[in-house]
Amino acid sequence: MIKIGVDAMGGDFAPDEVIKGALLAAKELSSESKMVLVGDKNTIQSSITRHGGNHSDFEIIHADEYIGMHEHPTKAISSKPNSTIMVAYKALAMKELSVFCSAGNTGAMMVGAMFTIKPIEKILRPGIAGFIPKVNNKYGVLLDVGANAECKPEVLQQFAELGSLFFQHVFNESNVRVGLLSLGEEEEKGTQVIQATHQLLKNNKNINFIGNIEGRDIFLDKADVIVCDGYVGNVVLKMAESLYPILDEKGYRDDFIDLFNWKNVGGSPILGVNGNVVIGHGSSDAQAIKNMILQSEKMADSKITQKIKEAFA
């Protein structure tokens, strides 16, 4: 049984949009999966009733505190041990949950993971993976997209390995192509960090490194995994997210443009920690919550965390 922990109080529109999204997800989840809502029990039950849901579709773990979107992550984690995020992480650490997802405070989700389930042994820094649309109407993986603003070459090399493992086991793809985001295709281009990273990736037998990827290549079918630091990755991801509402308002619609709608993706996984974790967008509505939950099920079903542990053992 896959137990999907959902932060019922996380996000700008919680709990109602979270519950509505969970009700939508309940119609599409496998019979081998069960949602576990984490938050104030009375509030959750009232919301389920208000939106015409079936209480038997869910389990509830009570948590009487939650971390606000603008609270300082480290302070909030230490001062609110009974928050939804900390209670869920403890359940994840105890194997009472198979995966935990939240559209709540991103910083608290990252700090909470580091304090509770902790990084996998030999992982220097866990990263957050983002999904980038490609012209073949599929998604590529961009890593890191915000957890680590500055990275050493050894960290970027691990991102390449983490992204490759994720793409292989979650997307069921072989021969995963890994590219390094730089300002030129030549290996001597880029900062000293990028040049040093290029040499590490070129000699890494665990990945299929295809070389540098330029900004104009991001949406093309040149690489399945694109490696960069969290500063650059976050800028690229936010830029990509801005395209859909602009083009939608102008009336441009097709399958490729629809991929830029972040609500269809649902969330970004944290890779490199001892548990399956997905972070949703703070402004998630019911559609985005549903897709975050479905993505969480897919991640748990792939056993990606175990695959990463085995690869880095």
Whether the CB-CB separation of 308 and 162 falls below 8 Å is answered with yes
Please say if the pLDDT value at position 259 is more than 90: yes
CA geometry: angle 290, 283, 27, nearest 5 deg: 10
Q: Which of the following CATH numbers is that of domain 125-267: 3.30.365.10, 3.40.50.300, 3.40.718.10, 3.60.15.10?
A: 3.40.718.10
Domains in the chain: boundaries: 1-123+272-313, 125-267
CATH number of this structure's domain 1-123+272-313: 3.40.718.10
Q: Work out the pLDDT band at 22, boundaries 50, 70, 90.
A: very high
Cα separations (Å) of 309 from 121, 134, 228? 8, 29, 22
Give CA 44 to chain center in angstroms: 24
Give the pLDDT score at 218: 96
Is 245 a residue whose pLDDT tops 90?
yes
Query: 220 φ, ψ to 5°?
Result: -85, 165
CA–CA separation, 234 and 240 (whole Å):
10
Q: How confident is the model at residue 150 (pLDDT cuts 50, 70, 90)?
A: very high
Note the pLDDT tens digit of each residue in 180-200. 999 999 999 999 999 999 999
Mean pLDDT, residues 252-274 taken together: 94
Do 125-267 and 1-123+272-313 fall under one CATH topology?
Answer: yes
pLDDT at 23 over 90: yes
pLDDT digits (tens, 9 = 90+) for 202-236: 999 999 999 999 999 999 999 999 999 999 999 99
Residue 84 pLDDT? 97
Query: In this predicted model, what pLDDT tens digit does every residue of 276-308 receive, in sequence order?
Result: 999 999 999 999 999 999 999 999 999 999 999
Q: What value does the mean pLDDT take over residues 93-99?
A: 97
pTM of the model: 0.95
- Calpha distance 130→265 (Å, rounded): 9
Integer Cα distance of 24 and 287 in angstroms:
8
Beta strands in 78-203 (DSSP E): 99-102, 127-133, 139-143, 177-181
Nearest in space to 272 (alpha carbons), one of 106, 159, 142, 174? 159
Strand, helix or coil for residue 68: coil
* Region of poorest pLDDT, from 41-45, 250-254, 269-273: 250-254
Q: Where are the beta strands (DSSP E) in 115-240?
A: 127-133, 139-143, 177-181, 208-213, 225-227
> What phi-psi label fits residue 275: left (phi over 0), alpha (psi between -120 and 50 degrees) or beta?
left
Q: How confident is the model at residue 253 (pLDDT cuts 50, 70, 90)?
A: confident
